[in-house]
A and B are shown apart, each in its own frame.
Chain A
Amino acid sequence: MASHGISRGSGSVVRSEEARQKEQQQIEAYKDLSDLVNTKIAEKQYTVEVLGLVTKLLHENPEYYTIWNHRRRVLVALVTEETQSPDELLQGDLQLTFVLLRKFPKCYWIWNQRDWLLQKAESLLGADAAQELWAGELQLVNKMLHADSRNFHAWGYRRIVVSKIERLGSSTTDSADTSSSLAQSEFDYTTKMIKTNLSNFSAWHNRSQLIPRILRERNADAEARRAFLASELGLICEAINTDPFDQSIWFYHQYLMSTISPSCPPNGFVVEDLTNGERQKYYENEMEYIKEILEDERDCKWIYEGLLGLAEAYLEVDAGTGAVTTKDMRAWLAELKRLDALRRGRWEDLEKRLQL
């Protein structure tokens, strides 16, 4: 959309005459090509030759969205006229968009074109061929996320691809049929990504999206659900211990805690039949664990924020046990104010809200 992270260096901004002339030539060549494409399209010359010109122009400027639209117009015409096999055309475009995505991984229009192509392929080539193509897309996304594990577009496209594969693979229209579900393998993929880099919030996020589904699909009973929660808590606590300064980890911890809150929407529960006594136990255990980390990390504000969040949740289901004291909460808040002056206004509001 605009220039991001492009350093100008410290050189002069004045161009040499030679550089200026070269740039004029480039401008002329670019304008000639784009004029040519636009003229041919205006004349409705939807031919293989024009498709080639479009390809050339998109290589020079993949952000030129109108040219992608022109490309679709040409492709649709070529398929209708049956001058070229749909499969051949499709492969050509998959190749083009692949090359461009590697170079411009954040360009919306290239991802859109890819999505459009696959949708078209489904109606032209049938479900079996489409199934295979979408499976190939998962490989593409893996490559893209390998290059940049936070690429927003790649994660979004991944969710589209997965839902397509699941829908095409399902032999019935019965939504209870989970034989084609990829939820478990997608969940495993997030585990892999997290193990490579704990800071990958995109992976933590996707994980949170998958959990209610895999529990449903496993028909997990009360015991299995408790075991699942315990294993997630184990994973996140280990992560906290590894790097308590990483906020993505704490957000996931907050997510897990939100699933055991009485105010969690029913479709988000991990365990469905928690008693308040159990809730207290979870909160106590987490507080204990975090306090242990505190011993070594006195200056990590996330620890105090975590403790305060747990204390607040605890008090909502408190049966008068008095395990959390106002004195503790005041002390944690004072640490937050000391360590996190940037957000002082927030801590002052919290003080009022908690009536500390």
Chain B
Amino acid sequence: MSLVSGPGRAGVGNMPAEMQLFVDKHVRYIQSLDTRKDELEYWLTEHLRLNGLYWGLTALHLLGHPDALPRNEILDFLCSCLHDNGGFGAAPGHDAHMLYTVSAVQILATLDAFGEFEERVKDGRQKVGKFIADLQDSETGTFAGDEWGERDTRFLYGALNALSLMGLLDLVDVAKAVQHVHSCANFDGGYGTSPGAESHSGQVFTCVGALTIAGRLDLVDQERLGAWLSERQLKNGGLNGRPEKQEDVCYSWWVMSSMAMLGKLHWIDGEKLTQFILQCQDPELGGLADRPGDMVDVFHTVFGIAGLSLLKYPGLEEVDPIYCMPRSVTRRCLGK
């Protein structure tokens, strides 16, 4: 799976007047990604390989083509990224880090492959769970990304996401983590990377997601945050990540999923946003870009499609706003 952007570009030229989602093109685009080893970009993005696999696989599931990538090859690759300490790196030989470990768990969940993982790795889930749990800062409740100690609410969310999917939340101090998230809240209702940091839609997603997993949405100033999130929509229908910034398809996900968790998705214009996301497609070679006319990549492809799923675009599988995974998968893992 590569993160090479392109080859296509979004929404230039031959976009038909009647907008539609080019499902088959996107499936073929994602399938083609691992065949691009003759591009330098393929090698320069190796540090995102496991994330890319999660993005591509999730997009395919939402598009209704869950078997479009070879299952066994995915599992082989995933296991080749595992370290003895239970953490995953981005690719073989890359260091273990929370970001890739979460992607690995999400892939295993989506493929319903925890059983096979245990066959390949003895006590696999416990090992991965321990790697994640050991990254919690017992003093503040937040999480580091790896042994080097950088802390960020993204890692905290990732920890709760992966542990809950494996049924191992009791390995960490959830109450302390909740406390930390709460200390990152700002007057506008949003959240930043750490206490005192400016609100940012990506960070709002991680913090609201963490609180939802912990069952503590009561701590969110829902009116204020809902209002702030709704103001991310710009005239052209697209969403930005912070006040006075440009629209971008990936924020369709960060903003909308947060609004969905707060039950306020109707506070923006879904019709206009749908049109904006569809304009970001490459109608010929597949894939979505951040904005119409830009290079497509698998990151914007999955978040655009997941956004469309939240908007109930016809024919797409339902996405879980908390996990950015098919709802059928999280239902299976969580039993709810």
Contacts and interface: CB of A to CB of B under 8 A. Distances in A.
A8 B295 contact: yes
A202 interface: yes
A258 B186 CA distance: 12
Interface string A156-183: 1001000000000000000000000000
Given A152-B200, A343-B230, A201 B267 contact: no
B60 interface: no
A218 interface: no
Contacts of B43: 27, 30-31, 34
Question: By CB atoms of chain B within 10 A, which of A4, A31, A258 has the most?
Answer: A4
Contacts, number: 156
B188 A65 contact: no
A156 B40 contact: no
B260 to A, nearest CB: 13
A353 B187 CA distance: 21
B158 interface: no
Q: Please report whether the interface of chain A is mostly helix, strand, loop or mixed according to DSSP.
A: helix
A27 B38 contact: yes
Interface in B186-220: 186-188, 192-194, 196-200
A24 B231 CA distance: 46
Contact of A13 (B8, B90, B188): B8
- Report, as a range, how many residues of chain B touch the other chain: 35 or more
Given A5-B291, A152-B200, A346-B230, A247 B244 contact: yes
B198 A201 contact: yes
Contacts of B22: none
Contact of A342 (B40, B186, B188, B269): B269
Interface string A1-39: 111111110100100000010011011001100100010
Interface stretch (A204-212, A219-227, A278-286): A204-212
Nearest to A61: B44
A201 B6 contact: no
Contact of A3 (B5, B93, B148, B245): B5
A344 interface: yes
Nearest to A22: B40
Interface stretch (A132-140, A248-256, A326-334): A248-256
B269 A112 contact: no
A31 B297 CA distance: 23
Contacts of A248: 243-244
A276 interface: no
A101 B35 CA distance: 32
Contact of A258 (B93, B187, B300): B187
Nearest to A346: B267
A64 B295 contact: no
Given A23-B40, A72-B148, A247-B244, A7 B97 contact: no
A5 B243 contact: no
B137 interface: no
Contacts of B299: 1-2
Interface of B: 3, 5-9, 12, 38-40, 43-48, 89-90, 93-95, 97, 146, 148, 150, 186-188, 192-194, 196-200, 226-228, 230-231, 233, 235, 237, 242-246, 248, 250, 264, 266-269, 272, 289-291, 293-295, 297-300
Interface of A: 1-8, 10, 13, 20, 23-24, 26-27, 30-31, 34, 38, 60-61, 63-66, 69, 72, 112, 115-116, 150, 152, 155-156, 159, 199, 201-202, 205-206, 208-209, 246-248, 251, 254-255, 258, 268, 341-346, 349
